[in-house]
Amino acid sequence: MINYNPKDWFFFLVRFPKADTFRKLFPLMILVSLYSCLIAYFELNHLNLTETNHIRNVGLMHGVLGFVISLLLVFRTNTAYDRWWEGRRIWGGLTNSSRNLAIMLQACLEEEDDRVFFRRTIPGYAFALKSLLRENEDFHEIDPVLDLKKERHLPNQIAASMYQKITRLHMQGKLSATQLLALDAEVRALTNHCGACERIKNTPIPFTYSVFIKKFIFFFVMTLPFGWVFSMGYFVVPVVVLILYALASLELIAEEIENPFGTDANDLPLDQICQNIRKHVGELLSEPYTTAVPAVTPA
């Protein structure tokens, strides 16, 4: 059962965090309110329009245009959320692949030096991918022992070093052919996750489509006072501002989450995910694998 607390609603209504669209749109809302007030004053006090004047019927088009803009915004937000959710699934798969690789290596490796290498490279791959997606913003978080070249593809460098290490262990007789194939599949899975993230980041929503929606919202809101002022009077000012806030907020939210790998408040928590991978891999590879043998009670 969900506990309902009316105070939670009040808290969200009066609180405007940094990522809230109200704070971002507030200057524009002030300008639109002044614009609507000016149009209302001019039409109500200086234009003596008859009941049959065509300007009074401008509001008829907003019914049709409102339906069209609603469809566009629904498609826009759904597309952006699909990109956000796909990014979350990819990083969830990266977490699972990192754990699986660490569990296999824990069972296969006995020497501390070998386990230390993978204890650094497996979480290092996650941090390198995050750095790549954020355009090397967090390069300093990657283990400096890995000695990566910043101008080259960071995840590929780590994946290549892991594969070379696994191949060398196999040639030294520390890994069997079956173990080599199993570990190879997990390393390739890391590269697949990297490619999927790059596909999302390097394939943004078409710029023309985003610009068209913004222009559509602007002209839709700017024409609202002309037709509605005769039936609503000066109440048209808060109504127009409310409609602007609703439509523009949806567009801002979609624009923010369409690239889920950034540092905005609504983006994926990549820092926390990377830290969890480092923590879990470190726990798994901290000690060699031992099988507990249950005590046998004599009959």
Question: pLDDT tens across 193-215, in order?
Answer: 999 999 999 988 888 888 888 89
Question: pLDDT tens across 231-243, in order?
Answer: 788 888 999 999 9
49 in Cβ contact with 43 (< 8 Å): yes
pLDDT exceeds cutoff 60 at 155: yes
Q: Residue 135: left if φ>0, alpha if ψ -120 to 50, beta else—which one?
A: left
Taking the CA atoms of residue 142, residue 145, residue 149 and residue 154 in that order, the dihedral angle to the nearest 10 degrees is -40
pLDDT band per the 50, 70, 90 thresholds, residue 293:
very low
Angstrom distance (rounded) from CA 96 to CA 115 = 19
Which amino acid does the sequence have at 202?
N
Question: pLDDT tens across 52-73, in order?
Answer: 455 666 667 777 788 888 888 9
Nearest C-alpha neighbor of 160 from the set 115, 197, 137, 194? 194
Angstrom distance (rounded) from CA 34 to CA 71 = 29
Structure tokens that stand for 297 in this block: 């009670």
Q: How many CA atoms lie within 13 A of 165 on its CB side?
A: 21
Question: pLDDT tens across 4-56, in order?
Answer: 565 565 565 656 555 577 788 888 999 999 999 998 888 777 766 545 455 66
Higher pLDDT, 16 or 165: 165
pLDDT band per the 50, 70, 90 thresholds, residue 145:
low
pLDDT exceeds cutoff 50 at 291: no
pLDDT band per the 50, 70, 90 thresholds, residue 255:
confident
Higher pLDDT, 142 or 109: 109
Predicted local confidence at residue 289, as pLDDT: 47
56 in Cβ contact with 43 (< 8 Å): no
